[in-house]
A and B are shown apart, each in its own frame.
Chain A
């Protein structure tokens, strides 16, 4: 990871930051293995440069954009967000990135574009989790957002964290961050963004539709069928085995004031 400049932003939670070491060694990124220490251990061969993202679908100006162009044409901001994993742990991460809406503006979405679909790179030769005889997921990893979610000012494409470009294990060179949703919605190492009229397929939703919904909004009242979502363990609190304690999970991960209106009138136990 190289230094990456960013201007401060108003989107900054007051919680204590999760240590950089924990943010970069405790990851779910099945492309590099299913254990949380696998991504840091197995992503050394991954090459995040050169890199392009193909942006297309229902847009007036489809284009393939180089990562260097992205870094130079969009002003980078530092945003301190909470990140809540569906597995009931959480972190506080100083991301560097820019609003997804800025990129969408550039390609000029058509009137019938209702959703945004994302796709992760497939490189079995660089991503050991994508080869081998037991594959937990059908690659590529897919995810998507509704257009109003994608255009929400909190939704960013992140290119760095802790003042540096993204480490491979965190989704280099560019990933999605949607702080009010469970972490798995934050699709990593994006190569393709497609605007669609229909709700796009999402990897975890395909894998277990009764457990992982399209929306995946953090919700302490809607439990995962197999475990509670009422509390979470904040990573990096305390030292060693003692001192870390569970905290209550907040509706929309604490971003209810900003985003609850997106879902007014929707039954959140049905659209989980």
Chain B
């Protein structure tokens, strides 16, 4: 029973569609900002919307494996695009922080980065995302071999760092941070039980198959 994957001929165009669709929220928020439709604190609203989209794409990227395991839906072809979208949003989020939010006042930015745990966590996430983005091409995958997988496990640090960055930036733990915390716990928790789950599945297959043959 192989998982369902979208037909190969749609793969390439649907990946491009995902990139375009994925960048739309950021572009739309930028347009709203330019036309003064982002409310009373447009810089903050724009900065936060870029950040939350980064977190959403990270979560979606980590949803690919459980979907394949549990829902028999193979969307692995889209994982690179989801990861890169997350990276683009983090990069844009950081750029807005440096320029429109902090006005490039480097002294205050530096003290912010080294004094504030939530900003350090955000920086950690950004720095760890860079090598993943750089090695997201096929050439790097071939070149790095099994080490590529090890490297890309950094996402298990990036996601909680990004989540904590978001939670700690808020005045209090309200519904929205609680929602994302729940999602991240599910996504990471699944990785903990996955080896046992896969083992049981493999055992069952070994056990069941001979019975089916007669």
Contact = CB atoms under 8 A, between A and B. Distances in A.
Interface of B: 30, 33-44, 46, 100, 102-103, 105, 108, 111-112, 115-118, 168-169, 171-176, 178
13 contacts: A37-B39, A86-B171, A89-B44, A134-B175, A136-B175, A226-B116, A228-B112, A228-B116, A241-B30, A241-B38, A242-B100, A244-B43, A246-B105
Contacts of B111: 228
A230 B111 CA distance: 11
A233 interface: yes
Contacts of B43: 233, 241, 244
Interface string A231-264: 1010110011110111000000000000000000
B37 to A, nearest CB: 8
Interface string A205-243: 001100000000000000100111011010110011110
A71 to B, nearest CB: 28
B41 A26 contact: yes
B168 A226 contact: yes
B182 to A, nearest CB: 11
A245 B103 contact: yes
Contacts of B44: 89, 233
Contacts of A26: 39-41
Contacts of B174: 34, 134, 136
A207 B172 contact: yes
Contacts, number: 76
A240 B34 contact: yes
A36 interface: yes
B185 to A, nearest CB: 16
Nearest to B172: A136
Contact of A235 (B33, B41, B102, B108): B41
Nearest to B118: A226
A22 B38 CA distance: 11
Contacts of A245: 103
A103 B33 CA distance: 44
Task: Kindly list the 6 A-B residue pairs having the minimum CB-CB distance in the complex, ordered from nearest.
Answer: A26-B40, A241-B33, A22-B40, A240-B36, A34-B174, A134-B175
B40 A235 contact: yes
Given A87-B171, A233-B44, A241 B108 contact: no
Contacts of A194: none
A79 to B, nearest CB: 21
B155 to A, nearest CB: 25
Given A240-B33, A240-B35, A25 B175 contact: no
A236 B103 contact: no
Nearest to A18: B40
A37 B83 CA distance: 31
Given A136-B174, A226-B169, A244 B40 contact: no
Contacts of B41: 26, 36, 89, 233, 235
Q: Which residue among A223, A241, A244 has the maximum number of chain B CB atoms within 10 Å of its CB?
A: A241
Contacts of B105: 246
Contacts of A230: 108
B172 to A, nearest CB: 5
A26 B30 CA distance: 20
Contacts of A208: 172
Contacts of A22: 39-40
Contacts of B169: 226-227
Contacts of A18: 40
B40 A231 contact: no
Given A34-B174, A233-B41, 8 more contacts: A21-B40, A37-B39, A134-B178, A136-B175, A228-B115, A235-B41, A241-B46, A242-B100
Contacts of B112: 228
A231 B108 CA distance: 10
Contacts of A207: 172
B74 to A, nearest CB: 35
Contacts of B40: 18, 21-22, 25-26, 36, 235-236
Contacts of A89: 41, 44
Contacts of B100: 241-242
Contacts of B46: 241
Contacts of A134: 174-175, 178
A244 B43 CA distance: 8
Nearest to B47: A241
